[in-house]
Amino acid sequence: MPRTVPPDIDERIISACQAEIDKRGIIGMRVSDVAKAANTTVAMIYRRFIDRDGLLAHTLGAYYRNRISLVIRTIENRLAEPGPITIDDVMELTPLPQHPGAEVLHRNLPRITVTAAENFALRVIVEQVVREGMRLFEDAISRLVDRMPPDQQFDPRIYTYFMVNLTWMYNDLRGDEAITNEQFKDFLRKLLEDSTRPA
C-alpha cells in the first residue's frame, strides 16, 4: 500500500529549508539537514522538488513572495482606514534601513538575485513573483497618492523606483558611516515633497 503524503509536507520542507539558509547560507544549506528539520526524508524532498536547485527555487521564491506580500499588506491596511492620507502616513508605511531582522533580509535578497542568475527554476519563479508583486505594489502606491491632499500628491513612480532599487546590504557594510533611519526618512520626505504636483 502506498504511503500517504502529509498535506503540509511542502510547507514543512520549505520552512525548514529557509531556516537552514538563514543559519548556514545558500551554499551551506544541506538537503539532509532540511529533511531532518522537516521530519521527513531526503527521498521525499527529491520527490517533491526534484533536486537541490528545485528546493532552493521554491524556498527562495516563497521568501521573495512573502517579503513583497508583507509590504503590500501594510499599504492595503492603511488604505482600508477612512480619511485622507498624508506624506507622514507614507513615511510611516516605508520600511526603514535598520529594523529587527534587517541584517538577514539585506543579506538574503541579494543572495536570491545572485542564485537566480545560475538557477533557471529560481529565475522563473522570482521573475513571476516580482512582476505580480510590482503590479500590486504600483497599484497600491497609486491609490495611496490618490487619497492624499492635492498639494501633497507626488509622482508614484519616484517612490516605486526608489524603493524597489534600494540595496541595503551595501549600507550595512558601511558600519558607523551607514545611513541612519532618520537620515533616510529626511531624504525620502524631501524627495517626495520636491516631486509633489502643483496644486
pLDDT of 199 above 70: no
- pLDDT tens digits for 123-161? 898 889 889 988 999 999 999 999 999 999 999 999 988
Indicate the pLDDT class of residue 1, thresholds 50, 70 and 90. Answer: very low
Quote the pLDDT of residue 106: 83
Under 8 Å between Cβ of 107 and 67: no
Give this prediction's pTM.
Answer: 0.80
